[in-house]
């Protein structure tokens, strides 16, 4: 059975660590401490300034479906592409506010982004992948090739 495999941000699988390295690296130590102390709801992607949205991957008989809760965005904020069987879902969102009154001027702006990548199994028909965004939920449909679809149960009679 093939499944979608989340990858690291660069779009490659994590390298296998050497067994000679017995001490944890500083970033992994930092992630361990924050992950245990705060819980995942407070973890953010410090490189991009936006919390990484949780993803549900559904494996049905005919397709994989990726569900991602990303409210408050527009369809134009998303950048979804496939390169060498790697599906990338990225978002860049910019906001800007200007307020002028008699005594002061205030200008606030923000920028946030994230990128999630997934290795697409060979069983997916890449040419028919589709996406839709409704009510804050991004759904990406990855239909399976005919030969990969689950066949109905066949009873064999004994002669």
CATH of the domain at 81: 2.60.40.790
144 in any annotated domain: yes
Domain ranges, residue 116: 5-10+53-148
139 in any annotated domain: yes
Q: Which residue has the higher pLDDT, 75 or 46?
A: 75
Structure tokens given for 48: 């991009």
pLDDT, tens digit, for every residue of 20-64? 445 555 555 555 555 554 444 444 444 444 578 889 999 998 999
159 in any annotated domain: no
28 in any annotated domain: no
Return contacts of 125-130, CB within 8 angstroms, 24+ apart: 126/82, 126/85, 129/82, 129/87
89 in any annotated domain: yes
pLDDT, tens digit, for every residue of 124-133? 999 999 999 9
122 in any annotated domain: yes
138 in any annotated domain: yes
Provide, rounded to the nearest whole percent, the portion of the chain with pLDDT above 90: 35
Q: Is a pLDDT exceeding 60 seen at residue 19?
A: no
Task: Report d(CA 91, CA 80) in Å as an integer.
Answer: 9
41 in any annotated domain: no
Most confident of 4-8, 9-13, 14-18, 135-139: 135-139
pLDDT at 15: 46
Q: Is a pLDDT exceeding 50 seen at residue 87?
A: yes
pTM of the model: 0.59
Contacts of 16 by beta carbon, 8 Å cutoff, 6+ apart: none
Helix (H, G, I), strand (E, B) or coil at 102: coil
Number of domains in the chain: 1
């Amino acid at each position: 059975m093939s499944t979608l495999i989340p990858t690291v941000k660069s779009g490659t699988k994590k390298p296998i660590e050497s067994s000679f390295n017995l001490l944890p690296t500083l970033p992994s130590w930092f992630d361990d401490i924050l992950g245990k102390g705060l819980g995942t709801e407070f973890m953010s992607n410090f490189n991009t300034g936006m919390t990484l949205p949780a993803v549900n991957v559904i494996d049905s008989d005919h397709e994989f479906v990726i569900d991602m809760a990303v409210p408050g965005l527009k369809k134009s904020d998303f950048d979804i592409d496939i390169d060498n069987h790697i599906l990338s879902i990225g978002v860049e969102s910019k906001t800007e506010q200007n307020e002028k009154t008699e005594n002061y001027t205030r200008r606030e702006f923000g920028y946030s982004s994230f990128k999630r990548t997934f290795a697409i199994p060979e069983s997916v028909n890449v040419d028919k992948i589709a996406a839709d965004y409704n009510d804050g939920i991004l759904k990406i449909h990855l239909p399976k090739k005919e030969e990969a679809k689950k066949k109905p149960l066949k009873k064999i009679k004994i002669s």
